Amino acid sequence: MEAFLIFLLVIGGIILAATLFVAWVIATIVRGIARMVSPRRHEAMTSSAPGVQVCNNVQCQCHNPGFARFCRRCGKSLPTLLRVVPSRVAML
């Protein structure tokens, strides 16, 4: 009898884990479909704050920090900003 209860507990745990996993997979698929259907294109049209780069990928257009080299959503490399390094000049 005790072995049967342990068996039922193990089977119940497996069913619970499988249910949670399937729910997570479904939520991930729905979130991915929602991103494909309505990408955040309106973000690129708004005025971007200084130090913010917009991804060049048409499907992504995620806002990234100014120092970022790669997009935080799709991973595409961002255009490098030209940084001018001031040189020291001797003053007389």
Q: How far apart are the C-alpha atoms of 22 and 8, rounded to whole Å?
A: 21
* Polymer length in residues for the chain: 92
Q: Where are the domains of the chain?
A: 1-38, 41-80
92 pLDDT exceeds 90?
Answer: no
CA 82 to mean position of chain CA atoms:
26
> How does pLDDT run across 14-53, given as a tens digit for each residue?
999 999 999 999 999 999 888 888 755 544 444 455 678 8
What separation, in Å, do the N-terminal and C-terminal C-alpha atoms of the chain show?
98
Q: How far apart are the C-alpha atoms of 7 and 59, rounded to whole Å?
A: 49
Q: Which residue has the tokens 């939520």?
A: 27
pTM value > 0.75: no
Tokens read off for 46: 């708004």
